[in-house]
Structure 1
Amino acid sequence: MENRLKEIRERKGLSQTELADAIGTTQGQIYKLESGSVRLSDVWLERLAPVLGVPQGALLSDGAGFETLRTSIREIPVIDYVQAGGYVSSANPYPKGEGMETILFDYKHNKIFGLRVQGNSMDRVFKEGTTLIVDYTDTDLHDRKYYVISNGDGTSVKQYRANPIRFEPQSFADEYDTIFPDQNTRIIGRVVHFLGEC
């Protein structure tokens, strides 16, 4: 089945190996997905779209196919900023109420909100100013996924790694530390998509 994975990957300047590393698979699997010998299923779309910074439907042939996904366009609030660096101090990082703005987004349920990235500890994936779409019901940890986390005093966005358990920066700079969770670490939600340049 034809898809636009190769075109979009190349436009983003990623090699097959870099994309494979970002989503936790092999270069060979990316080749099979791009060539159509392996179907670009909903599971693959969910893994690839956030890393490539495109809606899931854009990966399908001719950018069409939104109707084939079990999603709908809805208005979601961009409620605050999230630090891509160390924890940023905040007594209540995401209070209920109106957001800074709202954006239209295509997602399967309405348990999501947007956060704007500040800082550059994740600049390999999320540039400053990128809007993260966070599913606050998805707090189960999965290797290589991105999460908004809190330590009780502040929040940050990092990539979860399972062995050993840690949250890693994804930065071109070496100045950021890996966060090892403790009893104060709380998962705010999983980053399911992002809008902006990668």
Structure 2
Amino acid sequence: MDRRPPNRIRQLRKARGLTLEQLAALVPNPDTGAATDVSTISKLELSKRALTTDWMQRLAGALGVEPAALLDSGVDFTPVRRVPLVGRIAAGNWREAIEDPLSLVPCESGGPATFALIAEGDSMDKLVPPGGRIYIDPDDFGLRDGKYYAVMKDGETTFKRFRASPARLEPCSTNPIHQPIDIGREPFTVIGRVVGTWQDFD
């Protein structure tokens, strides 16, 4: 009997809030180019149809993951998805920035609205160098001691660590020009919690 290995198509589809019908509409049939019928997607999920390389590429594209993420390795992991990457964010303009991103980049953390920001200058260099990325979840903005938050102050975007006693936002920089923000004394806007960083090691 031909027993095909299980896969993660259903798990990934559910994680993105998609029905079988919605996923089928996003996946072009490799034979016809038209939308795939629901029964085919169901058979692929249940391993009743072979998950060929062609199907893996099409399903991965629709689900926003790498093809390897469709395979069930027996190891639990957080599915990789792609989030908007933006450059500098002008004060009050982050929502517009993520609607017109530079590109989409892989991300394993944060909620559905998470986006990536390119680190510029040295205001973040203890955690990520200039040109690296931070991942920000704008739905997670309640300040908790020891956590890092992306904030806007005087039209500039940076990220700092919140300290509860006394309440302040500490810089993440080797440059002493960047000073703590005393909460209650200086106006600032919390964009969201920093849920991850990434840098390219050449």
- In the alignment, does 2:140 pair up with 1:138? yes
Q: Secondary structure at the match of 2:108?
A: strand
**Structure 1: distance between partners of 2:110 and 2:150:** 20
Q: Secondary structure at the match of 1:125?
A: coil
Q: Deviation of residue 66 (structure 1)? A: 9.2
Listed as ranges, the matches of 1:142-181 within 5 Å are 142-151=144-153, 153-181=155-183
The answer to whether the 8 A contact 1:152-1:186 is kept is no
Equivalent residue number for residue 101 of structure 1: 103
Q: Which amino acid aligns with 2:195?
A: V
After TM superposition, the score normalised by the length of structure 2 is: 0.55
For the aligned residue pairs, the C-alpha RMSD in angstroms reads 2.5
Q: Deviation of residue 140 (structure 1)? A: 1.1
Equivalent residue number for residue 192 of structure 1: 195
The answer to whether the 8 A contact 1:93-1:154 is kept is no
**Structure 1: distance between partners of 2:187 and 2:144:** 19
Judging changes above 3 Å, is the alpha-carbon distance between structure 1 residues 66 and 119 closer, same or farther for their aligned structure 2 residues?
farther
| Unaligned stretches of 5+ residues in structure 1 | 1-64, 83-89
Listed as ranges, the matches of 1:1-198 within 5 Å are 67-69=75-77, 71-81=78-88, 90-96=90-96, 97-107=99-109, 109-151=111-153, 153-182=155-184, 184-196=187-199
Q: Deviation of residue 104 (structure 1)? A: 1.6
**Structure 2: distance between partners of 1:76 and 1:140:** 22
Q: Deviations over 1:89-131 (max 9, x none)?
A: x343314222011112223642200001111122121211111
The answer to whether the 8 A contact 2:124-2:158 is kept is no
Q: Deviation of residue 78 (structure 1)? A: 0.5
Q: Relative to total residues, which structure has the larger strand share, 1 or 2?
A: 1
**Structure 2: distance between partners of 1:81 and 1:72:** 27
Q: Which amino acid aligns with 1:160?
A: F
Judging changes above 3 Å, is the alpha-carbon distance between structure 1 residues 78 and 66 closer, same or farther for their aligned structure 2 residues?
farther
**Structure 2: distance between partners of 1:95 and 1:151:** 17
| Unaligned stretches of 5+ residues in structure 2 | 1-72
Q: Deviation of residue 67 (structure 1)? A: 4.1
Judging changes above 3 Å, is the alpha-carbon distance between structure 1 residues 176 and 107 closer, same or farther for their aligned structure 2 residues?
closer
Equivalent residue number for residue 23 of structure 2: none
